[in-house]
Amino acid sequence: MPAGDPPLTLRDLEAIPVSRLRGVGEKKGAALASAEIASVLDLLTHYPRRYLDRTREASIGELGAGDEATVFGEVHRSSTRQLNGRRTLTTVIIGDGGNQLTLTFFNQRWREKQLTPGMTVIVHGTCEIYRGQRQMTGPVVDLAGDQTGRIVPVYPQSEKSGLLTRDIAAFVEEALARCLPRGFDDPLPADVRKRFGFVARADAVCGIHQPETLTDRDEARRRLVFDELLRVQLELVRRKRRIERATAGIVHGTAGELTERFVERLPFPLTNAQRRAIDEINSDLVLGRPMHRLLQGDVGSGKTLVAVHTLLVAVQGGYQGAFMAPTEVLAEQHHAGVTAMLGDLSVPDPTTLMGDRPLRIELLTNRVGVAERRTILADLVKGKVDIVIGTHALIQDKVEYAALGAVVIDEQHRFGVEQRAALRDKGDAIAAPDVLVMTATPIPRTAAMTVYGDLDVSILDELPPGRTPIVTEWARDDAGEQAVWSAVRAAVADGRQAYVVCPLIDESESLEVRSAEDTYRALQATELADLRVGLLHGRVTSAEKDEVMGSFRQGETDVLVATTVIEVGVDVANATVMVILDADRFGIAQLHQLRGRVGRGEHASRCFLVGDPTTTDGAARLEALVASTDGFELAEIDLELRGEGTIMGDRQKGRNDLKLASLRRDREWVTAAREIAIEIIDADEELDDHPGLADELDLLLGDDDADYLLKD
């Protein structure tokens, strides 16, 4: 790679196969390929998992029983002996000058050939004291070569590939040596680098792989994390601006008599969070571009009220509102709730004799009768219906609107980009309706900026007054479970109702968890024999589901045994007890959603988590639920326990993976990257003045991956 040529771009590095590097023959090439390293770009973005500071390393002599540690040592000797049956035990003695450590491996005879006297090795494991000697059983072993007195990168190991740290370090060293004469192109604007004090990209790439000090490593990571997050945010903001540019919006007037009447009639004051969300939404509605906003709020935080306010802004301006729910049951509940909330609210109308007319709300689902449906559809086209509530039926071809001005979509993750676009297309040919999407699944704001990157985010983070907090208890053993059933019987004796949730519908040999059907039969025969018990799961027909839910809603069933079909949308104010069996099998978000099915009325409510977790994570999840009812706090704990995959899901696909950035650790950089992306795109919408950034987006976030980022 001769000097004098322009600096190397990421596209240049992608075009250079690793086979061009010395030492990468057919065997090493196959090993690298199995670790998804095909190009020099792949190699240089295969970042170390951790670093060992050999300038201040811990010695073997400092290890005590139970200490988990990583140490360097030189192999002194190794041997293998046969145990009973076919088992073998390989013993390797390593030392670091003054002390020795015994490594033991069962059925890994090959270790004797791998670890030969004189070799320098890195071992990671838990120290045990056996017969007065330090030992580690089955530690992770890596071969490092001579790395005395420096910071040593330790790369992710793959049993499948057989690649060792010393192999990757050698390939990286050669790649950097051959790249540095030309240097690395740095497309980040100089003013951004200066604002945050970032090192140049070349220094970052060298510093992440070959840091002279731990400070070098930290500075390199800051810069490379920002690069990753900025690319994602640039693509998301660019897509968002394209939609806004291509589609004219409705300029709503947010001050009006209808919304004033609505707020005045409420039996309670708005929370500060509701006021803030309404202000944020109103600031979008007055613009001449369509709103795309996500309203995040915990169960019971008052999202529906904010959504209804949004629809009324449209109605008072002469437009219609649509409220779309994922299921017919939820659509019917929203219709009942919104109708009750609005009561006999009238719309100011100077064309009528009294200066007012009744506000008209209609329900449109597949269960509406043919004649009634025909009437609603005809009146929608004529503009006689103000607000229509329904399922995906609202975006079917036969449904037409006189002037659709605002759309609310409940449970964002149930609707893809295509459905949102179909709803937008129901507006007139000139202007698209404003779209507000709601979710009751709290996720941290930084994650929301990435997961829902094409949407602005409003958060309801406080509960309205009068909501009774749910008390959560963990029943860990048989005695605790008996107390749970006593509590259920006591609640029913007081006229209340209860849910019992199971992970599976029927028995599974692979999971020792209770099935809904077995639990239903067992409870009827034992603990709840004298109560009216119902059963609900995903295999019953829609008609049966309606019948069971109707019976429970009307108080004809005392206890409903169910699977997670009740997670979203079942709203029975008289249900005050939630029992979740094998609770450690559920994730935090799901447990929180299930718990939110109770505590919806004036009566004190309780949630019982029944389970004996076999993992520390399982116990941590249940402890978190007992300690907090704050969905956003729980979402942060979920991120800590389970990592970004929980939040990103399928969005972490292909080349757009966050290889270094963490939505947990790098929250401030997510926010900073979003702000810089907005600055750059608003000044240069198609990145014409930033060709280097544009090329990296095209390379790493091509159309398929970018579309994936915007999937819901």
Query: Alpha-carbon distance 272 to 458, whole Å?
Result: 13
And the tokens for 232? 């994602």
By residue count, the chain amounts to 712
Comparison of pLDDT for 372 and 712, the residue scoring more: 372
User: What's the N-to-C CA distance of the chain in angstroms?
Assistant: 44
Q: Tell me, what's the pLDDT at 646?
A: 41
Whole-number Å distance between alpha carbons of 83 and 85? 6
Report how far residue 363's alpha carbon sits from residue 358's, in angstroms, rounded to the nearest whole number.
16
3-state secondary structure (DSSP) of residue 456: strand
Pick the CATH number of 56-148 from 2.40.160.100, 3.90.550.10, 2.40.50.140, 3.40.190.10: 2.40.50.140
Distance CA 305, CA 262 (A): 10
Per-residue pLDDT averaged across 552-577, rounded? 82
Domains of the chain by residue range: 56-148, 198-246+677-712, 257-460, 470-628
pLDDT for 709 equals 46
Say how many C-beta atoms besides its own lie within 10 A of residue 73's C-beta: 22
Chain segment 390-448, per-residue pLDDT in tens: 987 787 778 889 999 999 988 754 455 566 566 666 666 567 889 898 887 777 666 76
Nearest-5° Cα angle at 437, 432 to 438:
160
Exposure letters 410-426 (e unless 16+ CB within 10 A, then b):
bbbebbeeebbebbbeb
56-148 and 257-460 have identical folds: no
Q: What angle do CA 244, 249, 254 make, to 5 degrees?
A: 125
Render pLDDT for 228-244 as a digit per residue (tens, 0 to 9): 999 988 988 888 888 77
Residue-wise pLDDT for 171-212, tens only, equals 999 999 999 899 999 999 999 999 999 999 999 999 999 998
Residue 585 CA to residue 511 CA, distance in Å, equals: 10
pLDDT of 70? 79
Q: Could you tell me the CA-to-CA distances from 22 to 72, 192, 418, 470 in Å, in that order?
A: 27, 37, 49, 64
Q: Residue 497 forms beta bridges with which residues? A: 575
Say how far apart CA 78 and CA 114 lie, in whole Å.
Answer: 10
Contacting residues for 431 by C-beta, under 8 A, at least 6 apart: 247, 248, 249, 250, 290
Using pLDDT thresholds of 50, 70 and 90, give the confidence band for residue 58. low
Instruction: For 246-297, write each residue's pLDDT tens digit.
Output: 778 889 988 889 999 999 998 889 999 999 999 999 999 998 888 888 898 8
**pLDDT above 70 for 612:** yes
Query: Coil, strand, or helix at residue 186?
Result: coil
**Single-letter amino acid, residue 330:** L
Neighbours of 688 (CB within 10 A): 8
pLDDT at 329: 76
- CATH code of the domain occupying 257-460: 3.40.50.300
Nearest alpha carbon to residue 657 among 487, 450, 436: 450
265 phi and psi angles, rounded to 5 deg = -80, -10
Q: Residue written as tokens 């659709």?
A: 404
Q: Per residue in 468-501, pLDDT tens?
A: 778 999 998 889 999 999 999 999 999 999 999 9
Of 647, 646, 642, nearest to 620 (Cα)? Answer: 642
**Number of Cα atoms under 13 Å in the Cβ half of residue 413:** 14
Task: Using the predicted structure, report yes or no on whether residue 142 has a pLDDT greater than 80.
Answer: no
Q: Which range is least confidently modeled, 62-71, 112-121, 475-484, 579-588?
A: 62-71
**Mean pLDDT, the chain, as a whole number?**
84
**How would you classify the pairing of strands 434-439 and 292-297?**
parallel
In the numeric block, the tokens 């006689």 are attached to: 384
Q: Does the structure show a pLDDT above 60 at 119? A: yes
Rg (alpha carbons) of the chain, rounded to whole number: 31
pTM given for the model: 0.66
CA–CA distance, 474 with 467 (Å, rounded to integer): 22
**Structure token digits, residue 20:** 């061009």
Torsion angle in degrees (nearest 10) through CA of 293, 298, 302, 303: 20
The superfamily in CATH containing domain 470-628 is P-loop containing nucleotide triphosphate hydrolases (3.40.50.300)
State both tokens at 597: 């099915």
